[in-house]
Amino acid sequence: MLVVSVQTLRMYERRGLIIAQKSAGNQRLYSQSDIERLKCIRTSISKHKISIEGIRRIQSMVPCWENVQCPMEQRVECPAFAASDAGCWTYKHKTNVCAGRDCLHCKVYLLAGDCEQIKSLVHHQTSRLSETTDDLQKGK
């Protein structure tokens, strides 16, 4: 069973870890996928001792530009491409490929909330980074 206080849910929302869906009467609604995301967040904090900041950084590691096919000229202008401190959905996208997109149902947002997928993604990104560093050191 998952027990999360209302204050904690609001804090996760303010920090960009979750996006709350709201009813016509402005009540927050949580889907099964939100519950799985919350379980992932809770496990990261209680079992793996990852801070909120750490979770934000991990969520930012999903390469959104690959998933939404963002062209290079838009990437370089996008704050989410340059930054690594929060998921792309926490940034305002006024004119690029993500402007007006529904982040709540976006593959990138969903992927960042799936503990199993994010683990292999972080592993993949870390190996890629270390290979690049090795290549640079070898002068390749």
Residues that bind ligand SF4 (CB under 6 A): 64, 68, 88-89, 93, 98, 101, 103, 106, 108-109
Query: Rounded to the nearest whole angstrom, what is the least distance from the CB of residue 138 to ligand SF4 in the complex?
Result: 34
Q: Which is nearer to ligand SF4, 48 or 105 (CB)?
A: 105
Q: Which is nearer to ligand SF4, 44 or 87 (CB)?
A: 87
Distances (CA, A) of 137 to 68, 124, 130, 133: 32, 20, 10, 6
Residue in the structure block whose two tokens are 């190996």: 127
Nearest by Cα to 58 from 66, 49, 50: 50
Q: Which is nearer to ligand SF4, 64 or 118 (CB)?
A: 64
| Spatial distance between the Cα atoms of 134 and 106, rounded to a whole number of angstroms | 34
Query: Rounded to the nearest whole angstrom, what is the least distance from the CB of residue 93 to ligand SF4 in the complex?
Result: 6
Do 40 and 34 contact (CB within 8 A), yes or no? no
Query: Rounded to the nearest whole angstrom, what is the least distance from the CB of residue 9 to ligand SF4 in the complex?
Result: 20
